[in-house]
Amino acid sequence: MNDRNYVLWLPSWYPNKKEPFNGDFIQRHARAVSLYESVTVISFPQFGSKVNTSHEIEEKISGKLKEIIVNLPFRPFHISVLDRIRYNLQYYLTARTYLEKYFEKFGLPALVHVHVPVKAGNLALWIKKKYNIPFIVSEQASTYMEAAPDNYFQRSFFYKLQLKEIFRKAACVTNVSGTIGLVLKKLFLIRDLHVIHNTVDTGMFCFAPQANKAFTYLHVSSLSEQKNIFGILRAFYALSTIRKDWKLVLVGPYSAQIKEFIQRKNLDQLIELTGEVSYQEVAKKMKASNAFVLFSRHENFPCVVVEALCCGLPVVSSDVAGVKEAINESNGILTAYDNEDMFLAGLLKMRETHHLYNSEQISAAAIARYNFQAIGAQFHNVYTKTKTSSGIDGY
């Protein structure tokens, strides 16, 4: 048993069999950090108190990255309050039991790194109290924006109390955007906060000369309320009354209402629905497009924006949270998140001035900023500083 030779990651969101895209940006961070550190990710997926689940453990090792997914056993009684209590008890019992056994077999970690504080942050508090191991917290959620439904300001007293305790005991905090990082700093009086952006697999998302004939706008998302998909559709319908020399590709799980809107507005020849596609296919779609569009009501630091930039696509986006930290006059156009006329003007301007953007330069600048090595090094520096201030020897 060799103590302190790895960093333990405890993510509240992480890809698993049932939810392959849940927290995939955290997984990419793990891959980036594993270029510099031995990382063990132990994820306890949260499927909720209404879902019947069985105990199952998945494990995968790639280089210095070990990923373990532990599904907790739970069978609901279909009594709402009772099931929520039982589920939370089962979650913490399963997690603590597994972690204790893991520590006995593989030794204690040097640090614990929490991603999305609730519920994983409570496990970090327990580890700190029992084993005196410091932890850092990375927050990726956009729930600190008032435009988000069920945002932090509407949550229960108990939820807020949990968050405050987690942030108070953390050695330091990181956020993927400076905008929401500043909100966290003010809300929780955080003294040591670092902005480390989302990372991109630049081997997959990179510039490639495209030869498509029709000017193509691309949107990739869950096509949900957060992404303001009907605002996007209304804006493109308005664009179709001005000019029709374009195509919009919508990538994501579309609803019957989305399809009906497109048909009712006679946009079938202009808008393509692909449904949900693989991560690799997203990269291909980006390389075959001319511009990326986003009109979200709230975000933190959206991965799709920087992935599009790495492919050399200029972006038209609503100016929410950290988007303005990635987009400037050289690589895109920002609009108000709730102004469809302004978004339409941005779409029209992009179509008219696209030839002025240098796609190769956009790609090169984004790749230099968001690649695994660059982002991994920033986390490595935070780890080194935290270990030093906590009196932890090197590996």
On whether the CB atoms of residues 147 and 228 are closer than 8 A, the answer is no
pLDDT at 2: 57
Confidence check: pLDDT of 324 > 90:
yes
Digit-coded pLDDT (tens) for 220-271: 999 988 899 999 999 999 999 999 999 999 999 999 999 999 999 999 999 9
Give residues with Cβ within 8 angstroms of 217, minimum separation 6: 236, 246, 247, 248, 249, 289, 290, 291, 292, 293, 316, 347, 350
Phi, psi of 306 (to 5 degrees): -75, -30
Strands 65-71 and 56-62: antiparallel
What is the token pair recorded at 393?
Answer: 């020897």
Lowest mean pLDDT among 126-135, 208-217, 380-389: 208-217
- Describe the strand order of the beta sheet including 7-11 as a list of residue ranges: 56-62, 65-71, 39-43, 7-11, 111-115, 135-139, 172-175, 193-195
Strand partners, 220: 251
Which three-class secondary structure state does DSSP give residue 273? strand
On whether the CB atoms of residues 236 and 270 are closer than 8 A, the answer is yes
On whether the CB atoms of residues 318 and 332 are closer than 8 A, the answer is no
pLDDT at 395: 44
| Cα separation, 6 vs 344, whole angstroms | 50
pTM higher than 0.75 = yes
Domains in the chain, start-ordered, CATH in brackets?
7-199+372-389 (3.40.50.2000), 216-370 (3.40.50.2000)
Confidence check: pLDDT of 280 > 70:
yes
Confidence check: pLDDT of 1 > 60:
no
Helix (H) or strand (E) holding 387: helix 372-389
Digit-coded pLDDT (tens) for 170-196: 999 999 999 999 999 999 999 999 999
